[in-house]
């Protein structure tokens, strides 16, 4: 079973490396007066991480609000 996990890790790493090398073009992102030019693969990674952080925070906030809304008044 250990070899299956090692094979999965190697496969995932190969897919990430393939994605990285196939997306070396640059893209410029502008927000207000700021702009940054990054390779597309880096931009996708940054957006993914930001999405995880904001999605998790939003889910936690909504869960907290729902818990407080369902609580019995004192």
Q: Which residues pair with 36 in a beta bridge?
A: 29
- The Cα 15–Cα 28 span in angstroms is 25
Q: Using an 8 Å Cβ cutoff, are 27 and 38 in contact?
A: yes
Kindly report the pTM of this predicted structure: 0.60
Token output for 64: 């907290």
What's residue 30's pLDDT?
92
Domain extents in the chain: 2-70
| pLDDT mean values, one per 10 residues, the chain (74 residues) | 91 89 88 90 88 90 88 76
Q: Where are the beta strands (DSSP E) in 1-74?
A: 26-31, 34-39
Q: How many other CB atoms sit within 10 Å of the CB of residue 6? A: 10
What's residue 19's pLDDT?
85
């Amino acid at each position: 079973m250990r070899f299956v996990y090692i094979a999965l890790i190697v496969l995932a790493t190969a897919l990430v490396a393939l994605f990285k090398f196939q997306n070396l073009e640059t893209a410029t992102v502008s927000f207000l007066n700021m702009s940054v030019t990054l390779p597309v693969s880096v931009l996708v990674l940054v957006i993914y991480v930001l999405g995880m952080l904001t999605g998790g925070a939003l889910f936690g906030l909504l869960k907290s609000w729902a818990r407080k809304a369902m609580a019995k008044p004192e």
